[in-house]
C-alpha cells in the first residue's frame, strides 16, 4: 500500500514543485516505486522540472474524465528507475478535478506504488484542498520569510480539518516542515528568521533544511531534479530529507555559515 504524501505550502514560489520533484527522485533512487502527481491544473510545471515536458500526451484530467487510461498518462522517468510522473492539464480549469476522480486514481495507484507524491498548487482553493485531502503525510514547504510562515500556518490549519483523516477523526495527517532557500549568512546577520524560530512558531517537526543554492536554478534549467546533482549542497540536503522521511536519523547540515577558505576565496570555488 502506497503512502500518500502531499507537498504543500499555501504561498507560491517557495519551492513546492522543486521539492516534490527532488523528494520523489530521492525516494525512487532509494529503491521505492514512486509516482509524483501534478495537481496544478492550468499551470502545470512539474513536467518541466522533471524534464519530461515533451513526452506529455495525456494528463490527470484526461484520466479523470475517462479520455485516457492511467497507464497512458503516466510518464516513466528516463533517468531514474521506479519513478513515474502524472502531469496536470495545461488547458482545462481547476474545476475539472473532482474528489471522486482523484480518489479513484489514488486507489488505482496505491497497490502498485510505494509512494505517491502530490505536488499541490499554491493557494488554499479547490486544487490545493484536493491535493491534500487523501494524504497520509504532508510536507509543508516554508521559506524563512513572514508571508510564507504565515501561509504555512494556514495550511496546517487546513491539514487538521479539511483532510480525509481529519474528517474521520481517527488520526492526524503527519506533518513535516521543510525549510527551503535558507541562507545561514543572513541568519547570522540577524536579517533572516532562523530555523529554530520557524519551527517554534509553526510547532511542527523539521524534516529538512535546503540552503539557498545556485544548484536549484541550474537543475530546473536542465530539467533534472536537483537530487541528481549530488555534489551540490541542495542535492545533498534533499537526499538527507529523503533519508529522514524513510525514518533514518540524519544530522542536519548546511544550517551554519561556512567560512570561506583562503584558497576558495582566491579561486572562487562555487558549488
Partner 1 sequence: MKLLDFLKRERKKSASVAKERLQIIVAHQRGHRGQPDYMPMLEQELLEVIRRYVSVDQDAVNITLDSEDDCSILELNVTLPNSKDDT
Contact positions vs partner 1 (CB under 8 A): 145-146, 149-150, 153-154, 157, 160-161, 187, 189-194, 197, 201-202
Least Å distance between CB 154 and partner 1?
A: 7
Burial of 47 (0-12, 13-18, 19+ CB in 10 A): buried
- Torsion 258-261-267-271 (CA) sign: negative
Contact 84, 34 (CB under 8 A): yes
E strand or H helix at 128: helix 126-133
Least Å distance between CB 186 and partner 1?
A: 8
**Residue 31 or 160 with smaller CB distance to partner 1:** 160
Residue 89 in grid coordinates: 492539464
**Residue 54 or 170 with smaller CB distance to partner 1:** 170
**Residue 28 or 155 with smaller CB distance to partner 1:** 155
Least Å distance between CB 189 and partner 1?
A: 8
**Residue 35 or 193 with smaller CB distance to partner 1:** 193
- Between the CA atoms of 248, 109, 48 and 29, what dihedral angle is there, to the nearest 10 degrees? 30
Contact 70, 85 (CB under 8 A): no
**Residue 13 or 157 with smaller CB distance to partner 1:** 157
Least Å distance between CB 192 and partner 1?
A: 6
**Residue 143 or 236 with smaller CB distance to partner 1:** 143
Residue listed under C-alpha cell 510505494: 114
Sheet holding 3-8, edge to edge: 75-76, 83-86, 34-38, 115-119, 3-8, 137-142, 174-182, 205-211
Helix (H, G, I), strand (E, B) or coil at 156: helix
Residue listed under C-alpha cell 522517468: 77
Least Å distance between CB 19 and partner 1?
A: 22
**Residue 75 or 124 with smaller CB distance to partner 1:** 124
Least Å distance between CB 140 and partner 1?
A: 13
Least Å distance between CB 206 and partner 1?
A: 16
Contacts of residues 64-68 at CB distance under 8 Å and 24 or more positions apart, as own/partner, are 64/96, 64/97, 64/98, 64/101, 64/102, 64/104, 64/105, 65/96, 65/101
Residue 110 in grid coordinates: 496505491
Amino acid at each position: 500500500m502506497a503512502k500518500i504524501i502531499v507537498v504543500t505550502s499555501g504561498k507560491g514560489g517557495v519551492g513546492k514543485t522543486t521539492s516534490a520533484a527532488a523528494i520523489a527522485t530521492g525516494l525512487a533512487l532509494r529503491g521505492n516505486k514512486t509516482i509524483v502527481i501534478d495537481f496544478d491544473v492550468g499551470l502545470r510545471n512539474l513536467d518541466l522540472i522533471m524534464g519530461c515536458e515533451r513526452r506529455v500526451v495525456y494528463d490527470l484530467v484526461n484520466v479523470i474524465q475517462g479520455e485516457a487510461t492511467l497507464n497512458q498518462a503516466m510518464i516513466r522517468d528516463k533517468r531514474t528507475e521506479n519513478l513515474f510522473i502524472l502531469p496536470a492539464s495545461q488547458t482545462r480549469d481547476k474545476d475539472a478535478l473532482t474528489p471522486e476522480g482523484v480518489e479513484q486514481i489514488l486507489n488505482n495507484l496505491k497497490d502498485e506504488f510505494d509512494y505517491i507524491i502530490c505536488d499541490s498548487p499554491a493557494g488554499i482553493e479547490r486544487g490545493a484542498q484536493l491535493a491534500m485531502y487523501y494524504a497520509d503525510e504532508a510536507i509543508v514547504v516554508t521559506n524563512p520569510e513572514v508571508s510564507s510562515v504565515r501561509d504555512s500556518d494556514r495550511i496546517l490549519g487546513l491539514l487538521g480539518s479539511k483532510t480525509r483523516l481529519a474528517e474521520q477523526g481517527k488520526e492526524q495527517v503527519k506533518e513535516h516542515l521543510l525549510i527551503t532557500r535558507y541562507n545561514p549568512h543572513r541568519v547570522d546577520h540577524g536579517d533572516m528568521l532562523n530555523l529554530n524560530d520557524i519551527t517554534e512558531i509553526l510547532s511542527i517537526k523539521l524534516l529538512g533544511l535546503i540552503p539557498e543554492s545556485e544548484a536549484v536554478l541550474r537543475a530546473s534549467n536542465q530539467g533534472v531534479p536537483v537530487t541528481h546533482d549530488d555534489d551540490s549542497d541542495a542535492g545533498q540536503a534533499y537526499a538527507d530529507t529523503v533519508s529522514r522521511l524513510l525514518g533514518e536519523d540524519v544530522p542536519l547540515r548546511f544550517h551554519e555559515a561556512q567560512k570561506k577558505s583562503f584558497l576558495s576565496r582566491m579561486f572562487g570555488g562555487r558549488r
